[in-house]
Every structure is written in structure tokens, then in C-alpha cells.
Structure 1
Amino acid sequence: MHPNPHPSAGNPATTREATGQPTAAGRRSGHLYPRVALYLADHPGQPLSPGEITKALDVPSSGAVFEALKRMAAAGYATHQSNPHRFTVTQAGIDAAGALPPPTPRPAGSSTARHGRRQPVTRPNGDPYFPRKLAGSTDVDVLQRLRDKRIPVLLYGPPGTGKTAVAEAAFPDLLTVAGTGDTIVEDFVGNFIPLPDGGYEYVYGPLVTAMREGRALLIDDATLIPPKVLAVLYPAMDGRRVITLTGYRNERVEAADGFYILAGHNPGVHGAILTEALASRFDVHIEVTTDFDLARHLGVPAAAVQAAIRLNADLDAGKLTWAPQLRELLGFTRVRKALGHKAAVANLAGRAPEDDRTEVISALAAHFGTDIVPLRVGPQR
């Protein structure tokens, strides 16, 4: 029973993960889709919600179940009724489910590679994310369990450490609001937009979409958003799980099963203020730091990693306001392949804020042993 009649459409890696199809390496990368399909087939004629199926199967993420159900509906194996979301198996789905093997329990550690490294999770942009250890499990697993229990989480750490990446890896249905000082309430709930004929149409924002479709919503750089704007989230996050669109007919929006809010916070970014009102809304605060072992595993040269470790120690001690994180280290590797070693080092130095640049250049010189000048366009040759 294939979830998509056109397997080449969409992200192949994501499709294999959700369906349990064999990967190129010949191993099964997931078993959720067959479990969902078989459960739905065992309950013909019953409209079932993602939350009901998640609970029955005792899996950590209703978002992942929702994704499997949507793939079934796209393939004609189920009907999809929205607002609230309900799925009912079709006869084609029952017939196809009969060809699926019965689900088997996942062996302990089956998501771990032969040498103990967790297998990567494919993000929506196609990039791999390597789960990291957290609370006796992995960061991806922990976020999925927190969503299942409706426990909001605040991810904090310097830019480039992977806060957005882990959220995307954990929640394939993720929507994102990128926060700035100019973010307004309408960026969350929606607004009227002009039409070609001169009229206006109200377009719902990501908060409304996430609530109605039972999706996860990441508020990135949340502490850059004015507190009075963030207040629009609070009734959606508490026991009410309801908001009212005062700008559009006082429409009432209720959260469907699976709706979840998490936020990202960059403490060192100018203008970022974590208010008590915001902090108290998130029951779990998780620091996200750069995994330097992973940087080495992904091919970042040892000298660059060592320089980054030294600079991050100074960052933690308050001596610097910036240090290269995983994002910059991976960028260094790409630039090195494109422009050569010397240009990559110069570019890394140039990425440092001006106030920190002298110290950054000193650390880079100590590990690369070369005179370092940030990239600059010079005179004609």
C-alpha cells in the first residue's frame, strides 16, 4: 500500500520515512504508515481523528500520524474531512491494507547506526538532521513527546545551533513565524488583502491554520516580538485553546488535536527580551548548543572546529558576543570547497561582528597559522 500514487513526487526521503519503504541502503526507515493504515482499515466506516489514532497506537507524535493520514487521503485510501480533521478508510484502502505486513515492534536502538550514531531525519528542505542526546533519549523524540502531552517548549541558544532544524526534524507539519521587532498580531491571525477587482479578502494567518489543522507552530526569535503582540498566542496555549478573530467578524477558532506551539530564543541577539510572561508560558526550556563532534562527522576541518571551541568558551565567559556555531562551520566547509582554504578562513573571520573581529582573527590564526584578512574587494588586477 503506497501512500502516494506518484512516488517521485514530493520529498522521497520523507516519503520513505513515513511509509516504512526500504531505503537505498535496504533497511526500513520507519513503520508508522503501515500501522496507521492497518488501524484505519480495521475500523471501516468510522471517521477517526489523528489524536484518536495516536492514542490507540501509543505513538509519540500526532503530527506524524496526521502526515501519514494525509498521504493515505492523497492516494485515495482514505477520505479527509477537515475542521475538525477526520479520516475514514475507503474500500481501496482496505484492499491495499490487506497486502501490508503486520507491524512489528521496533527493536531497541533500531534508529541507531551500526556504530551508535543516530540515523538522520530528513527536514522539509531535504537536508538531514542528526538527532542529539537529550533527557535519556534524543531531542527529536523529546520534542515529539512534549507535543503529545501539550507541554510548550522554549528552545534557546545562539543563532546557528540548530533550533529551527530540530523543530523541523521533529514535526513534518511545522509552520513557522519568523519574529522581528516589526511583527504584528495580523502576522499570526491573518489580514485583509486587496484583490485585482478592487475588493478585499481575509486571508488566515499561520496561527489560525495551525490551530484548525492540528499542526505545530514555531515562533522563531520570539523574544524579538513585542510582548503585546505575543499575547495573541496565550489563549491558544492554555486550557482554552481558543482565539477570537476580533478583526474578522469575531470568528471563533478552536484548536484541533495535534496543535502545538514552541518557540526559539537567541539570548545574545540585540533587542531580544525574555519577559516573565513569555517564559512562564513555556513549561520546558531547552538550551541548544553546537555539536562539535557532529561538525567533525560532517567534514568540518579539525582546525576550524578547535577554533570554534575556543571562541565559544570565550562567548560563554562573556568575553565575546559572537562565536561560530554549526551553521557557520558548515558554511566554512562549503566555501572551502568552492573558493579554497584561504578564502574560507578569511570569510569566517569576516562573519564576526566588528567588535569581536580582532579576537576571532587571533583565534583563527592560532589554529590555521596564517595571516588572516576578511574578504574584501580590492583594486583591479
Structure 2
Amino acid sequence: MNPTSPQPASPGANPTSTPTAPASGSGRRMGHLYPRVAQYLVDNPDSPLKVRQITQAIGAPSSGAVFEVLKKMAAVGYATHIRDPHHRFQITPAGIAAAGTLPPPAPRGASSGARSRSGKRKPVTRPNGELYLPRKLAGGTDIEVLRRLRAAQMPVLLYGPPGTGKTAMVEAAFDDLLTVAGTGDTVVEDFVGNFIPLPDGGYEYVYGPLVVAMRDGRPLLVDDATLIPPRVLSVLYPAMDGRRVIHLTAYRNERVEAADGFYVIAGHNPGVHGAVLTEALASRFGVHIEVTTDWDLARRLGVAARAVAAAIDLNNELAAGTVTWAPQLRELLGFARLHKTLSLATAVSNLAGRAPDHDREAVIKALATHFGTTVTALSLGPQH
């Protein structure tokens, strides 16, 4: 079947006017861009507006820069930030009253990853509402470093065991993030989009997350990238290199150019069955960062010290190759929640049961050593 000439429906775009020529370089500074963004919201107060729609309407050079202005407006109450799941903004009465003036500076220490009086970094809220505690990296924090690398257009490959917090870190760093969850069944259409059937029997082309991220100047996380077949991943390469352009061969050979702010991050879980880090993929990422479980953080988040000690021993065995699985932060946080909800003994038994069959004996031994008791996997008993 060959669908004919359907109109594209982009989940991240709603163009309402023809883009004008980009503003001068000085327009990139917030002091120049903010009044234009604010005035457009004031002139269109009746409904939330998408970032790309605002960018095109005011002829701004970058949707990423417009998004930063909008977030600053929302932070001081001048705009309402709506995620449904796209980022949309609507002017507030306070924003209307303040139109034409720059927003006041954020309260001291209010920015993402800001330091508290104790010197520790404050948590950053992820899109799902959970808090992320920044970790040290390259003289700063992981959040700060990822944002600097995005500004420098240096793609990052995060690698480490599943459950160490790779995805959480990226979500905390970029609240305009789009994600492709990689599997062995991921296809090119999962990146670029595809035709979908309509109730009336027709078809329309819906753009995929790669296209939306390129056009809106947003970051794209390719999670579990090394599970995706290499021939599929190659769709990313022209978007990431100096060309920063792809062509939608399945839809009119449409040309898609990357806007400022577009950025690619990938996650890799070494040792996971089916994960293959090819030279072609590794070479596209100029920065490789290992992400391991933060044991101190696990303790701070309420994980029993004996559970952390057992996990450390098992991770040492994992590094030595004597086991193929060891608890990471994800499993330890689940342990803490179950401990609080039911009991410590139940949490220990459940952690034993989460281990793969071929590693369960080693996990039970480590748990028994540190908890000083017999450990069995969580299972049902006889009827009462």
C-alpha cells in the first residue's frame, strides 16, 4: 500500500506562520529575546502555546533559546508551564502586568542543582516529580556538565549496569528531553515517524522523536542504544555530524535540519545480553561517562547499611566476573520502599528473589553474611 499525500502531523510542532529571518546574534541574549517572547504571549493570552509556534511567530533563531526564556518566565510566575506531554506556555495576569520588563532574578540558590547553605547540591525535580540528587563530575556536577556539553554540541555516551541512574540523570539535566527506548525490535520508523491510519480510511504521517527533537532544538536520549540494530542506529549519524540534516525517504524525501539546542545522548549497559557497542556508534560520541551506583546516596535515601554492604560485595564479584548480576541503585531503592512498607526480612527475601537463577545462590550468600540470618527468596507459604 502507498498512502498518497497525507498532511504531516507533528507531535512537537504547530506552525502558524512562515518563519522570518533569524534575528541578529545579539537576539540570542535573554535581554533582547525576553520582551519579544513576553509580548507574543500577551498578544495571544487565550490558550497555551507551543515553543516552536512562538519561535516561528517571532522569528527567533533558536527554539532552545525561546524555551529557556519561557522557563524563566514560568519560574517567577509570569507564565504557566503545561506538559501534555509537549511543553506549552500561557501568560499569567502577573506576566501581563510585567510585560516589557525582565523577570526578577530567581531566589538565591533556586536554580537547578544550586548549592544549599550546607554546601550540598539541592535536588533537581525530574519530569515524573521524583527528585534527583546531583553527583560530582569533572569539577562540577553531572547536571552542570551535561548542560555544558549540550551547549558545546559534544554527544555523550553514558555506560554502566542497568539501574545506576543514567536515565534519571539525563531527565534531571534536560526538562525538554525526548526519549527513544531501544530494544532489538526498534526500527528506523521509531526515530523518524511513520504513516498511521485514520478513522476515515486515509493516512497521515506522524513525525518521530528524532524529527521533533531536531526541529524544536531539544535533546534526544537513546536509551539502551546498544540493543538497537546498528543499521537502524545509522539514521542518527547524519543528524549528529557536521551535516545536522536528515531526509525522510518515506515521506516526500523531506529535508529536516537540526535547530540550535538539538543534542543526542545515548545509554549503554555493558554486559547485558544483546548489547553491542560498535565502533561506528562509539566514535559518534566524543564523551564517554561511566555511571555507577552511588553507595553513599543509597544510604542517604534510607537503604539499610547491611543491604548496601552486601550490594558492594556483589558488585566486586560482578567486576571479577564471578557473577553476572548485582544490585544497583534501582534495586536498593526498591529494597528501602519494601522495608518501609512491609518489613526488613521481606525486603531481604525479595532482593534475593530478584537475582537471576544462576546468580541467586551467590546473592543469598552475601545477604546471609551481612544480615546474619538464613535467607530465602520471597515466596508464598501454606494456607492459613
Q: TM-score range by the shorter chain?
A: 0.7 to 0.9
| Structure 1 counterpart SS, 2:222 | strand
Residue 49 of structure 1 is aligned with which of 52, 55, 60? 60
Write the distance in 1 (CA, Å) between the matches of 2:191 and 2:157: 18
Tell me the SS of whatever aligns to 2:98.
Answer: helix
Partner of 2:156: 153
The offset of 1:337, in angstroms, is: 1.5
1:153, 1:263 within 8 Å by CA — same for their partners in 2? yes
Distance 1:140 1:154 in 2: 15
CA RMSD of aligned residues (A): 3.4
Q: Is the 8 A contact 2:193 2:207 kept in 1?
A: yes
Contact 2:64 2:261 in 1 (8 A): no
Aligned to 2:192: 189
Is it true that 1:305 corresponds to 2:316 in the alignment?
no
Amino acid at match of 1:49: A
Residues 186-226 of structure 1, C-alpha deviations (whole Å, 9 max, x = no match):
00001111111222111111101111111110000000000
- Which region of structure 1 is more displaced relative to structure 2, 228-237 or 193-202? 193-202
Q: C-alpha separation between the residues in 2 aligned to 1:346 and 1:202?
A: 49
Match of 1:271 in 2: 274
Question: Is contact 1:211-1:256 (8 Å) kept?
Answer: yes
Conserved in 1, the CA contact under 8 Å of 2:225 and 2:268? yes
- In the alignment, what sits opposite 1:96? 98
Residue type at the aligned position of 1:340: S
Which contiguous aligned blocks of 4+ residues in structure 1 show a shift greater than 4 angstroms? 35-39, 42-46, 50-54, 62-74, 89-95, 97-102, 104-107
Distance 1:50 1:113, change over 3 A: farther
Whole-angstrom distance in 2 between the partners of 1:244 and 1:71: 37
Alpha-carbon distance change, 63 to 158 in structure 1, aligned in 2, over 3 angstroms:
farther
Query: CA shift at 1:39, angstroms?
Result: 5.3
2:237 pairs with 1:237: no
How far is the alpha carbon of 1:91 from its aligned partner? 12
Task: Identify which of 320, 324, 328 aligns with 1:321.
Answer: 324
- Find out whether 1:363 has 2:374 as its counterpart: no
Contact 1:131 1:140 in 2 (8 A): yes
Query: Matched residue of 1:257: which SS?
Result: coil
Give the drift of 1:376: 1.7
- Identical-pair percentage: 68
Q: Which runs of 5+ in 1 are unaligned?
A: 1-34, 55-61, 78-86
Within 2, Cα distance between the matches of 1:76 and 1:300?
Answer: 37
Contact 1:335 1:343 in 2 (8 A): yes
User: In structure 1, what is the Cα distance between the partners aligned to 2:180 and 2:126?
Assistant: 17
**Which sits farther off after the overlay, 40-49 or 191-200?**
40-49
* Structure 2 counterpart of 1:343: 346
* Equivalences for residues 16-55 of structure 1 within 5 A: 36=30, 40-41=34-35, 47=58, 49=60, 51=62
Question: Residue 174 of structure 2 is aligned with which of 168, 171, 175?
Answer: 171
8 Å CA contact 1:76, 1:92 repeated in 2: no
| 1-structure distance, mates of 2:307, 2:327 | 9
Q: Is the 8 A contact 1:63 1:215 kept in 2?
A: no
Q: Could you say if the C-alpha distance between residues 101 and 183 of structure 1 is closer, same or farther in structure 2, counting changes exceeding 3 Å?
A: closer
User: Shift in Å at residue 377 of structure 1?
Assistant: 2.5
* Cα 1:69–1:181 shift into 2, 3 Å: farther
User: In 2, distance between residues paired with 1:116 and 1:70?
Assistant: 27
Question: Could you tell me whether the CA contact under 8 Å between 1:152 and 1:260 is conserved in 2?
Answer: yes
Contact 1:332-1:344 within 8 A present in 2 as well? yes
Aligned-pair CA distance for 1:41: 2.4
CA, structure 1 residues 71+263, in 2 after alignment: closer, same or farther (shift >3 Å)? same
CA distance in 2, matches of 1:76, 1:335: 37
Q: Aligned equivalents of 1:103 and 1:341: distance in 2?
A: 46
* Cα separation, 2, equivalents of 1:162 and 1:105: 29
Please report the TM-score for the alignment, with normalisation by the length of structure 2: 0.78
Letter in 2 for 1:378: G
Residues 226-274 of structure 1: per-residue CA shift (max 9 Å, x gap): 0000000000001111110000111111111111110000002101010
Counterpart residue type for residue 227 of structure 1: P
**Paired AA for residue 96 in structure 1:** A
Is contact 1:38–1:97 with CA below 8 Å preserved after alignment? no
**Partner SS, residue 280 of structure 1:** helix
- Residue 116 of structure 1 and its aligned partner are, at CA, apart by 2.7
1:246 alignment partner AA: T
Partner-residue secondary structure (3-state), 2:337 = helix
CA drift of 1:40 comes to: 1.5
Q: Residue 22 of structure 1 corresponds to which residue in structure 2?
A: none
Q: Are the counterparts in 2 of residues 296 and 305 from structure 1 also a CA contact under 8 Å? A: yes
Cα distance in 2, alignment partners of residues 106 and 75 from structure 1: 20
Shift of 1:75: 3.7
| Deviation at residue 380 of structure 1 after TM alignment | 2.5
Task: Give the structure-1-normalised TM-score.
Answer: 0.78
Q: What is the aligned partner in structure 1 of residue 201 from structure 2?
A: 198
Q: Work out whether residues 67 and 172 of structure 1, in 8 Å CA contact, stay in contact via their aligned partners in 2.
A: no
Q: Determine if contact 2:219/2:261 at 8 Å carries over to the other structure.
A: yes
SS at match of 2:220: strand
